[in-house]
Amino acid sequence: MSSSDGPSDFDPKAYRSALGGFGTGVALVAARDEAGNAHGMIINSLTSVSLHPPIMLWCLASSSAAFKVYTEAPAFSLNILRSDDADVAQRFSRKGDRVIPPEQITTMESGAPVLTAAVASLDCRLRLRQPMGDHEVIYGDVVAYRADPGVDALGFFRGRFVTLRSED
């Protein structure tokens, strides 16, 4: 194994477990397929790359059955889930059909489906896609956003969904 393949004694399970100590929020990425159906998938790889201009990225597993949907869509939304969205998180991290019911979505600027209720929703137009290892890094320009800062957020820590609550 060369150095670019990782440590020689690399154990993927132990590595994933180590990364599980990095607690994150949970988001639903949503995009339309060619037929216009809204698809959603749970992610925690989103990152704010730039503020001026506002640019976000997220990472999509190359092995995902939904790879085509998210790499071909010209726009997507990133919806930060509320603490009472654990059922949404379960539903949209399962394999199989992950079409979002029309009554749960709206649109903003880009035309991508946006969740009607979320801690925050970032409406993005695709800027760039970059293959990286076993993932595709997907960058988007934020063209609109909205936020509900008063609500608790859903978190993910050591393989479990948790509630993220501010003290006051």
Ligand X SMILES: Cc1cc2nc3c(=O)[nH]c(=O)nc-3n(C[C@H](O)[C@H](O)[C@H](O)COP(=O)(O)O)c2cc1C
CA–CA distance, 126 with 135 (Å, rounded to integer): 16
- Candidate segments 13-21, 56-64, 102-110, 140-148, binder of ligand X by CB under 6 A: 56-64
Q: Which of 45, 71, 104, 106 binds ligand X (CB under 6 A)?
A: 45
Smaller CB separation from ligand X, 24 or 109: 24
Q: Which of 31, 56, 57, 66 binds ligand X (CB under 6 A)?
A: 66
CA–CA distance, 70 with 40 (Å, rounded to integer): 9
Verify binding: residue 28, ligand X, rule CB under 6 A: no
Q: Give me the helices (H) in 92-135, please.
A: none
Contact string 101-120 vs ligand X (x = CB under 6 A): --------------------
Smaller CB separation from ligand X, 61 or 151: 61
Quick one: which H or E segment has residue 127? strand 120-132
Count, residues near ligand X per rule CB under 6 A? 16
The answer to whether 127 and 97 are in contact (CB under 8 A) is no
Contact string 147-166 vs ligand X (x = CB under 6 A): ---------x----------
CA–CA distance, 143 with 136 (Å, rounded to integer): 22
Quick one: which H or E segment has residue 88? helix 86-91
Residues 6+ apart with CB under 8 A from 45: 57, 58, 59, 135
Q: How far is the CB of 42 from ligand X (least distance, A)?
A: 4
- Binding residues for ligand X, rule: CB under 6 A, are 26, 41-45, 58-61, 64-66, 93, 95, 156
